[in-house]
Structures are given as structure tokens and as C-alpha cells.
Amino acid sequence: MVRSMKGSSAGSCGLVIQAGCAPSQHRRVARPQGAPSAGRDHDGLVSTHPEHGGSHRLPDCDVAIVGAGIAGLAAARHLTTAGFNVRVFEAGAAVGGRVRSESIDGITVDIGFQLINPAYPEAQRMLDFDDLSLRPFVAGVLLRESEGKASLIADPMRHPADVVSTALHVPGSRLQQIRFVAEILRLARMNPRALEQRPDLTAREALSRFGKISDDLLAAFLSGVLFDDSLTTSRRFVDLVLRSFVRGTPAVPATGMQRIPDQLARGLDIALNTRVRAVTPSTVATESETVHARAIIVACDPRTAATLIPGLAIGELRSGTTWWHLADSPGSALTNGRPVLVIDPRRTGPLVNSVVLSNAAPAYAPDGRALIASTALGAGQFDDSDVRRHLSYLHGIDTSRWDVVAVHRLDLTVPAMPAGTPLRKPVVLDNGLFVAGDHRDTPSLQGALVSGRRVAAAVQHALA
């Protein structure tokens, strides 16, 4: 079965009024102990008392969050923990935004190839890794250098058995290798705040001093991570990315990335399947009704957020396409049975990387066949024969009989972060609205979680 799907970056925007939550009930909303009632003379929102001289309508909740992506869910968790009555409105059929999975004929595929790095500080604070049953990948890459020749380059500390292969095949001169190792060790030790203060350059400029290591290894690897083959991304963000790879081993939850938003959503008041058409600082309007709240957070994908908030600057957005294939052979016949990212520094085809995901998480493909995720930059139409030809080159095997399970086109969903871009953008807008998403922080799961925490803190301050 083939399914083609377009993904969104953050939560979609929608609302369904759930049983017991209808606005007509005029429930008094919960507030943290000692917090004052809302009123226009206090915070510019809907008054709940006649003495404020504004509307007498009670708000239906303290905070309304539009979008149940990672940022929206994180904000909801923080605010709910702080004692606020929070409702989350989502247009899609499930939570997660860009971090989603779907089941096709019993096979799990994520909406685009995605990983979680357990070294992300915010993920460590927010997520229960044991509950996710993380399945790690090899901390390294398989470098396809030519037909019939592929070299494994792995972190010797985490994969000591691969130290000889790594030493023999790392590109560059000995001096370039020493410089790179010294830089990586320094990044691992540095405080993230210190990294953010370094002079900014493009990633290509910052990495150029490592010579062939940059040209033949880092450029090929980072283009898939960043959705940026020009490497014009901010070196500050790239430093944070490299630091996380040194400090943690990327992984997926055993049964799919959907487990992450599902975990964040537990116990929250989330309504699905109805699109929000408009917001104000105190209302969320759907096709059928208007919900009042003391504060509104727009946590949608960047393009939807810009539609709901005219004038919101969201910057450049990047695209990618991921193919999911079932091989006609077991995972043990591919990449030596290991879950390692295969990259092609010569870029002889459209793909920036490919990985046998079921070698890390067998439950994705419970029938025992190998499930492969492969990604290209851009969301246009790719020739299937070109994709298969490149897959055959990357994996060193005939792929003409591989079955396509799904194709996901992430069209203009991943925020770019060119050199000079602030690592954090405001989450409080001049018009009284709040906004969250990885387009307000770094374009990553870490950034989405941080954005949720930042906007929750801003709302708590505003409603105090």
C-alpha cells in the first residue's frame, strides 16, 4: 500500500468542544492560589467581574492553546502543572504536529525520518525515556565512497570495536583530524550559553578549517540533519547540534516517534479535528463558535501561525521528502545488520541519507522484513528510478523489488536558521497574543520543548 502525505511543522490549528467543556456552561476557571481575576485593567483580557467595567462573560478557560505539536503540548504541561485550566485545540486527528507516526498495514512509519537525542536538556526534563523504550542508532555514519566500498566511521568511545575502521577511514590529514577531535571535545564540555555567545558564521565557514573532514563527512551528514545542503546555517546552532551528538546517541521510541507527543499529551484537555479560523488576545474562533480565555497561545506550524497572526515574521522554511521502503531481504543483509546512517559525500543521486530503521527498532516492521527510511531535500516530484538507483548505490544491493510503504513530503515546514539568526525569538507579541514553536527557538525537538517552556513562563507572568 502506498501513501503520500504532506506534513506540518508544529501542531495544526483546530478545535472540538469536548463534553463538559461547552462555553455555555460559563465555568469559573481555575487559577493558581493568590492569582488575581482577569480584567482589562489588569492584563487586557476579558473581564470576569462587573466592577472591571468590561464584558461580564466568564472565560471558558485560563489558557487556550492553538496547535497540539510539541511546543503546544509542552506549554500545556507546564501551565497545567502550575494550576491553570488549559485547553488545547488541534485540527488534526492526532497530537504531535511534525512529530507524528502512522500505521500502514501493520507497519509503523514516522512522518519524515526523525530521531530524538536523549542528550537534549529539555527532553531530559520533560520526557520519560524509560517509558519511550528508546532504541539507539550507531553513533556514526557509513560513508559510501564508491561502488562496492563503504566505510564505517563511528565514535570510538561508544563503539570501541570499530576504532580501527574509524581510524583508517576518517577523511583529512592527521592535523585536520586532531583539530576536529579537539573541537568536538571542547563543544562537549562547553556550556550551551557559552556556545551561543561565539561569533556567528555560516556552518561552511566555521567548518572549513577541518578540510576534507568537512567536505567529505560533515557536509554530507549535516545537509540531511539541517535540510541545508548550502551549509549557510548558523554555526551557533550547528555547534549545539554537534554537542548533542557527542553527548548522546540518537534514537527512536520502540514503537514510533508518536510515542513522544502521546506521552506529553497524557492528562491534558485536548480537542481534535476542527480548524481554528481566527484568534484575538482573548478568543479562539472556529467555524461553529468562539471560546474565551485569559490568554491565547498560537502554537501552530509557521505558515498557519502567520495566517492567524498577520505580520508575524517566520523566516525561510525548508522542505524534505522521505521514502519508506520494505526490502525483499532481512535487515541483517543491509549495513551489516546495524542501524547506521548511510551517506554519500559525492551526492551521486537525490538522497542525502538512508537508514535501515528496523535494525534499531524491529517493532516498526513486525513481519521481520527490513524497513528503510531515505530522505532527499525538497518536496518536489522525484523520479522513482533515480531514487531506487541511488538506494542501490548506498546499500550495495538491488532495490528494484523493494516495496514503497509511504512517501512523506514535508513542504516548507522546517524553519531555516541562517547565520546571524537569533537563537531565540520573542514569544510575547505586541498585540497581546503569545506564540510558540521551533520557529521561535532552534528548529529541533529541543527547540520546540524550550519554546513551550518559555511561552508558559510568559503566560504565567502575564496572568500573575
pTM: 0.88
Angle at 234 between CA 233 and CA 239, to 5 degrees: 110
Mean pLDDT of 430-444: 96
Cβ within 8 Å of residue 355, ≥6 positions away: 113, 137, 335, 339, 340, 341, 342, 372, 373, 374
pLDDT band for position 204 (cuts 50, 70, 90) = very high
Give yes or no for residue 49 having a pLDDT over 70.
no
Cβ within 8 Å of residue 59, ≥6 positions away: 29, 38, 45, 46, 48, 282, 292, 293, 294
Mean pLDDT of 92-115: 96
pLDDT, tens digit (0-9, with 9 covering 90-100), for 280-302: 999 999 888 899 999 999 999 99
Distance CA 219, CA 230 (A): 9
Is residue 231 within 8 A of residue 204, CB to CB? The reply is yes
CB crowding 33-57: b at 16 or more within 10 Å, else e: eebebbbeeebbbbbbeeebebbee
For strand 270-271 and strand 86-89, is the pairing parallel, antiparallel, or unpaired? parallel
- Worst-scoring range by mean pLDDT, 16-20, 113-117, 335-339, 453-457? 16-20
Residue with cell 482577569: 38
Q: φ, ψ for residue 389 (rounded to 5)?
A: -60, -40
**DSSP code at position 358:** G
pLDDT band for position 11 (cuts 50, 70, 90) = low
Distances (CA, A) of 46 to 111, 128, 163, 290, 408: 39, 37, 64, 13, 42
Distance CA 282, CA 159 (A): 54
Neighbours of 100 (CB within 10 A): 25
pLDDT, tens digit (0-9, with 9 covering 90-100), for 340-389: 999 999 999 999 999 999 999 999 998 889 999 999 999 999 999 999 99
What does the pLDDT read at residue 58?
86
What does the pLDDT read at residue 274?
82
What does the pLDDT read at residue 216?
92
Residue 102 CB-density burial (10 A; 0-12 exposed, 13-18 middle, 19+ buried):
middle
